[in-house]
Structure 1
Amino acid sequence: MARRPPQPAALGEAALHVLLALADGPRHGYAIMQTVAAESGGGVRLGPTTLYRTLRTLHEAGLVAEVPHDDPGDDARRRYYDITDDGRAAAREQLRRLQRLIDTARAKPRLRPDPA
């Protein structure tokens, strides 16, 4: 049976952050954690348990793949991950859904910031 990417609503915040971190290229776990923290301005910090549970879920769904690496300065025990074509499609769809939600929120007068 072929794997299908989860429905966009199934991508939680951690999963989307991991996919975004991998959109720039393959990374090992610690580098993914650092990228997520940097890209979120420190607002999101994935602990090891959350990160590796999320990677396992994304891997099982076919949204990320473990890839070989040959960085001689790196620890040979590190596992590198990369986003798959299905992962890119799932991330793009989730981002479209979020953009529609943001557009809806911006149209709500009672949610607009008070004028300074």
Structure 2
Amino acid sequence: MGFLTSPNRLWLGLLLSFILAAAAVASVPPVITIETGHGDVTFAHRDHQVRAKGQCVQCHHEGAGVHSCRSCHDGERAPIAREVVHQMCKGCHNEQGGTASPMQCEGCHGG
């Protein structure tokens, strides 16, 4: 029997998955500042990625590598970012509950 028998392939696949997931988390900036007309939002991007278990598609519907909505959407196809972000963030924060999930404007937007 060679090295790539079924049990070895399974372990090799798991190891590769772990390495790729760790690399994805390491490549994400820990904090992103989003400038808005109502005060900047300091977004703990890496913390959110860890909570989402590296599933970028939970927020970025195109998956990893998408930096902003406008990088895919432009002109008339672009959704109104404020509405999309508020719906997505507030929806998840409502599900998570607790004081660590802000629901009021000042919880995310700086003074």
TM beyond 0.5? no
Q: State the TM-score bracket (shorter-chain normalisation).
A: under 0.3
Please give the TM-score of this superposition, normalised by the length of structure 1.
0.25
Please give the TM-score of this superposition, normalised by the length of structure 2.
0.25
